[in-house]
Chains A and B, each alone.
Chain A
Amino acid sequence: DAKTTQPNSMESNEEEPVHLPCNHSTISGTDYIHWYRQLPSQGPEYVIHGLTSNVNNRMASLAIAEDRKSSTLILHRATLRDAAVYYCILVQGAQKLVFGQGTRLTINP
């Protein structure tokens, strides 16, 4: 499984944008970049995914580098409810998801 690297933790303030980075230098051409987040004592929740082009949805935006070796999850206006562990995962087709350690995001009021 291709590996991703994320910072262990990040901190931001409420109502400010948050940029969560992910490095995946060994990504293959068929790997999709998926992002999930997990709140305490809950199962993970899908956030967004993409292949090459930047993606936007109601939760976040995904910016993918031109060489695809890195990506950034953007929360445009963080709220306290966005405090969670965020996982960046490379996924091939319908294959299994293998989780790394993720980034623990803290939001300050």
Chain B
Amino acid sequence: GAVVSQHPSWVICKSGTSVKIECRSLDFQATTMFWYRQFPKQSLMLMATSNEGSKATYEQGVEKDKFLINHASLTLSTLTVTSAHPEDSSFYICSARVRGRNTEAFFGQGTRLTVV
């Protein structure tokens, strides 16, 4: 089946620095990718929809200047957490769906971000 790969799997960064997370669709083209974050013991919260060649669509309450999303190609979307703070520590997950209706979503393995 289709595969979505995230990198890195985990990252530790200092407060105030920026961190970039990559999401790749390995064997299909993804015009749209989705970014989620998940806190311990909670469900996934949709942050934004990443559209290839255009601006991302952010969910209400998500700061677009803090969570920069770039979707420059049909197989790669990146999420950059800018000026990270300890409260940004979370599990970030990307997802993509094969183009077409009624298809399943594929998820990356997630990135554990810890800001110290």
Contact = CB atoms under 8 A, between A and B. Distances in A.
Interface residues of B, number: 29
A43 interface: yes
Nearest to A44: B107
Interface of A: 32, 34, 36, 38, 41-46, 49, 51, 85, 87, 93-94, 96-102
A99 B91 CA distance: 15
A106 B43 CA distance: 17
B93 A41 contact: no
A96 B102 contact: no
Nearest to A48: B104
Given A43-B109, A97-B95, A98-B46, 16 more contacts: A32-B102, A34-B104, A43-B93, A43-B95, A44-B95, A45-B107, A46-B106, A46-B107, A87-B43, A94-B103, A96-B46, A97-B34, A97-B46, A97-B105, A99-B44, A102-B43
Interface string B81-97: 00000000001011101
Contacts of B25: none
A51 B109 contact: no
B75 interface: no
B78 interface: no
